[in-house]
Amino acid sequence: MEELFPEASPAEIKLTKAHLKQYRDKKHKVELFERNPPETDKQKRAQEALIKFTSLIERAVDQILHKDVKSVIEYRFIKGNSRAATILKFSSWNCCEKTIDRKIEEGVVSVANTLLYLE
């Protein structure tokens, strides 16, 4: 019997982290297409693929239940900040770097699991 909400494999989690790292670049390209509409079919297909990619990532991040994990993921990947900047931003939580890293990993796993049923 197929699981209603399957768990992502380690390979899927790794791929999701790569996708999250690509998000800002792809979102920027979507914004460029909004300012300069596509002229060819190839550009239209590229625009559609970029919009699908970014909206899936945004929806999956929005599904993260823990507010602190969601905040860290949004700051790190959606806003495109570095790991160091993320740790500095959330240092007011009085926790160590490893705790922030765990929250990042927890968020990546959550996004990976969500993408399994959104795609």
- Name the residue among 25, 42, 44 with its Cα closest to residue 33: 44
Burial 22-33 (b: 16+ CB within 10 A, else e): ebeebbebeeeb
Q: Which residue has the higher pLDDT, 4 or 37?
A: 37
The per-residue pLDDT for 4 is 66
CA 91 to the chain's CA centroid: 22
**Model-level pTM?**
0.89
pLDDT of residue 119 exceeding 90, the answer is: no
User: pLDDT, tens digit, for every residue of 71-86?
Assistant: 999 999 999 999 999 9
Work out the pLDDT band at 2, boundaries 50, 70, 90.
low
Q: What is the pLDDT of residue 3?
A: 62
